[in-house]
Structure formats: C-alpha cells, structure tokens
Chain A
C-alpha cells in the first residue's frame, strides 16, 4: 500500500485532464444529431466557407513549404552570429495573440501600413481579399512548420550529408536527395501542425481580411457569424473542423510512430 499512491495520483490526473479536454469536444457532437449536422452543412454558405478554408490553407501551406524548407535547412545546418535571435524572431508568431497578428499585418502591409504604399504600387490588394487571408494564415502558421523542419534537419546525422558530399553530390543535390527524404517524418509533422493552425485561424483573418462569404469568410469566421442565430450550422461547421483537426493530429502520430507518443525507445 505504501508505494501505490503515486500511480493512483497519475491516473487521477490523467482522468481529470481527459475529461476536461474532451467534454467540450464531445458536446459539439452530442448537441446535434448527425442528420442535423449534414443538413446544416448542405446550406450554401457553409460549403462556401469550407471550400474557401481549403483553398486558402492549401495556398499558405504551399508558400510555407517552398520558403520554409530551405530556410529551416539553413538554420539547422549553419552556425552564425545572431542565429538565436533569428530563430526567436521566426518563432515569435507562435506566441503572439491572433489579434496582435492582425494589427501587426495591418500596420505592415495594410493600406495605411508602413509598406502599404509599396504593396499598392505593386498592384496587390491584400486587405479584405482572399490573398489577405492567405497572408494572415501564412504569418501565423509558418513558425509551426519551420520549427519542426529545423528540428528534423538538425537531427540528421552529419555523416550522412558528408558522405553524400564526398560522393560528389552538390549541396543542392544532397539537400533534395538525402536531407529532405531523411527529414520527411519531421517535415510531414510540421506541415500537419501548420495546416491545423491555418485551418483554425480566426482573429488575424477577421482583423486583416474581414469577413465576406466566399471571399474572406473562412470556417472559423463562418462559425462566429452563425453563432448568434444559426447555432446548428455553427455546430456543424465546428464538428467538421474538429474531425479534420483530429485526423491531422492522428496522422502525425502515425507518421512519427512511438516517438510522438512519448514512449522512449530503448
């Protein structure tokens, strides 16, 4: 009996955490029947919001992968003065409240922002446009990917890269043929995290891009819009987001295997 209190405490803590974290999620599904959920989704605006979320998230992920992968590779493979500072700056949006992200984007590239004139001169319109949504999503989601990708590249045994280089491959070739495939599980995990963050983005989008059906009203904004008068529809869209986000998280766990489950490999 003497030594048995600790496991009991652990189980109790886990049970508390599990109940607290899952109850609201379960409520989304219990509060409306599956039939109602499907009906609410059939409504025109809901599908439009989903389609817009899919398109904007895909676009921002493309940007994040194309720019983020080499950037993360550089940070993982080189040492230079001020590197810690650079990494901190890149990670900063992770901890920024979405409202701050929205204000910051307006102050930077909004019509009266510091680069607003330049953006306008380039013929680009961001505020209140779909492109603005992509900018907001990219801003808040990219650190999730870059961080994970950096860790993945850094974890690769240097001798692997050295071997590839010794065999005459250029760094570009080694990057494409050795480093990326080896880091793939980490890159996939980072992509999934960025995807989840982008899908759920609300505050920055509303402040920077506004809310208009089919143009800037992504699923989270549509949920907020429906909350007051079409609660069923808001629930249905929430359920879809929960399902998609759950699937993303699960696939990350599967890709990463036991490592992600926190069981130390012996």
Chain B
C-alpha cells in the first residue's frame, strides 16, 4: 500500500509539473497573465504582428474559421476574446448570452483572388468551363459572403460559377493555399488575404453593387478568465497597436 501511495503521489507530482510548465511560460514572459484570443483566420498576419505589443497580458492567438471558433465557444470552450469576420456570429453569441455586446472594429473588402499570371480578370471569366474555383464553406463568413454576392447575379451566371466550384474550404487560409499552389484558378477572399501573399496573388475588384459589406465584430467571451484585459484588447482593436496593424494589412476602419 505504501508503494501505491508512492505511485499516486508520483502521478500527482507529474500533474503538478504540468501546471508548473504553465507558470514558467507566464513567468518567462514577465509574469504576465495569459489572454486567449480566438480570431478569424483572415486576421492572422495582422494580429500576430501586434499581439506581442499588448501590454497587460501575454496574448495567445488562435485562428480558424469564425464559425468553427463560435462553435467551440458554444461547446463550452472559453477563450477571453472572440473576433469574427462578420457581425452575425458575434451577435448570435451575444443573443445566447455567451459574449459581451460585440464591438465593430474593422471592415474588409471582398474580392476575387487569382494567381498574378492568370487570365481571369472578371466574374465573367469564372463562368467558362474548366475554371477551377475554391470558395469558403457555407457556414464560414467568407463562404456566406460569396454566396450572398453570387446570388445578386443573374441566375444563369450564378449557376455557371457555382458549377465551377471545386472546393468548399473551412477558412480563407484554405482558399489562399489552393490558389498559391495552383490547385484552383480563382477564389473569393478578402483583399487583406491577397495582400498577405506578398504578390503571389492579385485581387480583382468586384463591382460596387455586388460587394457585400464585410464588418468584423469582437467581444469578450462570457466566463473569460481575464475579462478586464479582454475588454482592453477589444478596445485596442478599435484604437491601438492592433488597430494600426489591421489598417496596415489593408483593413478599413470600423464603420
């Protein structure tokens, strides 16, 4: 029995050691608390550049499709901040009592992205047979913006374009990857994603009457471990280093 107790205390020690790792990580970064930010994949580059500048906490960023991140929160995961590529998902979470009242902090431009040597220069070119298009899956914001935009076209053209869709990607990064690897010929993304490829892709602007309004919303997750710091982070998305980084990446100011 004594050895069993020994084994148990060894296990307890192992668990404690895991805990220590966490403490060490925080201590290493100047004893700052950790702030977990779940953000839409389209903000990856911008937030990674400004995240370390946040004074009050060590920011840990996780990026995915806004819908996946919302689903995680609904399943009980508690990041401190949720920043989405639309206002619908944060509004829904707010209605469900899972998020503070969302703040609109940036806008983006919905564009058609093509490799820089492509002959596709307009929506019309997308209707040709053999053109391979990658778009966002229906539930991710980029996917619903895409469907919303295409629905404004005459039925025939909308169908011709949808018939050329070869992949419904879970987030914008997936679409960009398919384009830069040459697997797809065109895709609908945000202009900031095209900017982030450093010239591999180019953005084809869409007619103003077709462009959806792309507004990003963020809020503090209910039950966040660091609610005050989370609120501070959200404020800085509107005005602060992260707002600057977003602007530099090509995002527009909040409406």
Contact = CB atoms under 8 A, between A and B. Distances in A.
A1 interface: yes
B219 interface: no
Given A1-B1, A231-B71, A211 B181 contact: no
B176 interface: no
A110 B167 contact: no
B4 interface: yes
Contact of A228 (B4, B70, B132, B167): B70
B167 A128 contact: yes
The 8 closest A-B pairs by CB, nearest first: A210-B167, A111-B182, A127-B183, A228-B71, A228-B67, A112-B182, A128-B166, A229-B139
A228 B166 contact: no
Interface residues of B, number: 29
A111 B170 contact: no
A8 B1 CA distance: 9
Interface in B174-214: 174, 177-178, 181-184
Contacts of A1: 1
B137 A110 contact: no
A128 B71 contact: no
Interface string A219-231: 0000011011101
A111 B169 contact: no
Among B67, B169, B183, B184: residue with most chain A CB under 10 A: B183
B71 A227 contact: yes
B7 interface: yes
B25 to A, nearest CB: 23
Interface of A: 1, 5-6, 8-9, 12, 106, 110-113, 116, 127-129, 206-207, 210-213, 215-217, 224-225, 227-229, 231
Among B134, B137, B139, B140: residue with most chain A CB under 10 A: B137
B197 to A, nearest CB: 14
Given A9-B4, A128-B166, 4 more contacts: A9-B3, A12-B7, A106-B183, A225-B168
Contact of B182 (A6, A110, A213, A228): A110
Contacts of B167: 128, 210-212, 216
Given A206-B174, A210-B167, A215-B166, A229 B67 contact: yes
Contact of A110 (B70, B71, B169, B183): B183
26 contacts: A5-B3, A106-B183, A111-B181, A111-B183, A112-B182, A116-B182, A127-B178, A127-B182, A128-B134, A128-B166, A128-B178, A206-B174, A207-B174, A210-B134, A210-B169, A210-B178, A210-B183, A212-B166, A212-B168, A213-B168, A217-B168, A225-B170, A228-B70, A228-B140, A229-B71, A231-B75
B235 interface: no
A1 B1 CA distance: 8
B170 A206 contact: yes
Contacts of B177: 207
A233 to B, nearest CB: 12
Contacts of B178: 127-128, 210
Nearest to B64: A228
B169 A211 contact: yes
A206 B4 CA distance: 47
Nearest to B75: A231
B139 A8 contact: no
B254 interface: no
Contacts of B68: 227-228
Contacts of B184: 127-128, 210
Nearest to A213: B168
B90 interface: no
Interface string B146-171: 00000000000000000001111110
B181 A106 contact: yes
A129 B177 CA distance: 16
Contacts of A212: 165-168
B65 interface: yes
Contact of A210 (B7, B65, B139, B166): B166
A38 to B, nearest CB: 23
A8 B6 CA distance: 13
A117 to B, nearest CB: 11
Interface string B1-25: 1111001000000000000000000
A211 B170 contact: yes
A131 to B, nearest CB: 13
